[in-house]
Amino acid sequence: MDLLIFDFDGLILDTETASYEVWSDIFKSYGATLPITEWAACIGTTHRAFDVYAYLQSQVQQPVDVKEIAQQHQDRTLKIIDALEPRPGVLAYMSEAQKLRLPIALASSSDQNWVMRNLSRLNLAEHFHSIRTSNDVEKVKPDPELYQLTLITMGVKPHRAVAFEDSPNGIKAAKAAGIFTVAVPNPVTRQLPIEEADLRIESMADITLRDLLHQIHMSQK
C-alpha cells in the first residue's frame, strides 16, 4: 500500500458520540427522543442532510427557539470535545505509518476550520501529507469526490490506498472511489449498518498497523 486515508469526526476524534449525546439530552428536556436511525442521516456528511430542529418541532408539536437550542448544543458539545483525546490506537497508527514511510492523508466532510482547530489542539496536523475538507469539494460524503481529490493530490491509484472510516456515509464514499475500506466504528456508528466496508475492526488498539496491512494484503491475493 502507498497511502492511508483517515476520516476525522468519529474516527480520529469521537466528536460524533458527543454531538449525539448532547442532542439526545436536549430532546429529553422537551419530552422527546432522537432515534439514532434518524440522526444517522447526517453522520459522516453535512448536517444539512437532517433538519434536527424540524424533527424536534414535529416531536413536540410546537415551535422551538432554534437559535437558543443551536447555541446550547454548540456550547455543551464543544466543552466535551475540547477535553477529548484521539481514539485508542490512532496515535500508534500514525507513529507506525511514519516508521513504515507510509504517507497519511485526511478526507473529512467537515469544515476546514473545524478540522484544523481540533488537529491543532491535538498537535496532529503535521502527521498529514494532505488534508481535504468540505471547503475543497462541491459534494461531500457519501459522494466519492473527497477521496478522489485526495488520491489525485497524492498521486496514488485507488487500489494502492486504504481508507479508515467509522460511518455508513464515509464507507460509501471510500468504496465508490475504489478504495479498500476499514470500518472502525465508535459507540454511535456501531449501531449503524457498516457492512459495506471491506474489513471491520472495533479499535485501532486491537491490531497493529503492520498486522492490519498484512491482513489486507493476504485478502487481496
Per DSSP, the residues of 102-148 read: --EEEE-SS-HHHHHHHHHHTT-GGG-SEEE-GGG-SS-TTSTHHHH
Nearest to residue 164, comparing CAs of 120, 98, 209? 209
Quick one: pLDDT band at residue 11, thresholds 50, 70, 90?
A: very high
Shared-domain flag, residues 70 and 126: no
Distance of alpha carbon 211 from alpha carbon 128, whole angstroms = 21
Mean pLDDT of 58-73: 90
pLDDT, tens digit, 9 for 90 and up, residues 95-149:
999 999 999 999 999 999 999 999 999 999 999 999 999 999 999 999 999 999 9
Distance of alpha carbon 98 from alpha carbon 202, whole angstroms = 23
Q: pTM for the complete prediction?
A: 0.92
**pLDDT number for residue 220:** 81
Nearest to residue 203, comparing CAs of 71, 38, 93, 75? 93
Shared-domain flag, residues 93 and 193: yes
Mean pLDDT of 70-98: 96
Distance of alpha carbon 111 from alpha carbon 67, whole angstroms = 20
Q: What is the CATH number of the domain that holds 92?
A: 3.40.50.1000
Residue with cell 466496508: 197
Task: Return the half-sphere exposure (C-beta side, CA atoms, 13 A cut-off) of residue 3.
Answer: 25
| Structural domain range at position 43 | 15-81
**DSSP letter string over 170-206?**
HHHHHHHTT-EEEE---TTGGGS--TTSSEE-S-GGG
Shared-domain flag, residues 162 and 92: yes
pLDDT, tens digit, 9 for 90 and up, residues 21-52:
999 999 999 999 999 888 888 777 766 778 88
Task: Return the half-sphere exposure (C-beta side, CA atoms, 13 A cut-off) of residue 46.
Answer: 13
Query: Which residues have a catalytic role annotated?
Result: 7, 9
Shared-domain flag, residues 113 and 25: no
Residue 61 CA to chain centroid, in angstroms?
33
Last residue of a domain, one of 81, 105, 139: 81
Spatial contact of 12 and 186, defined as CB atoms under 8 Å apart: no
Q: What angle do CA 50, 51, 57 make, to 5 degrees?
A: 140
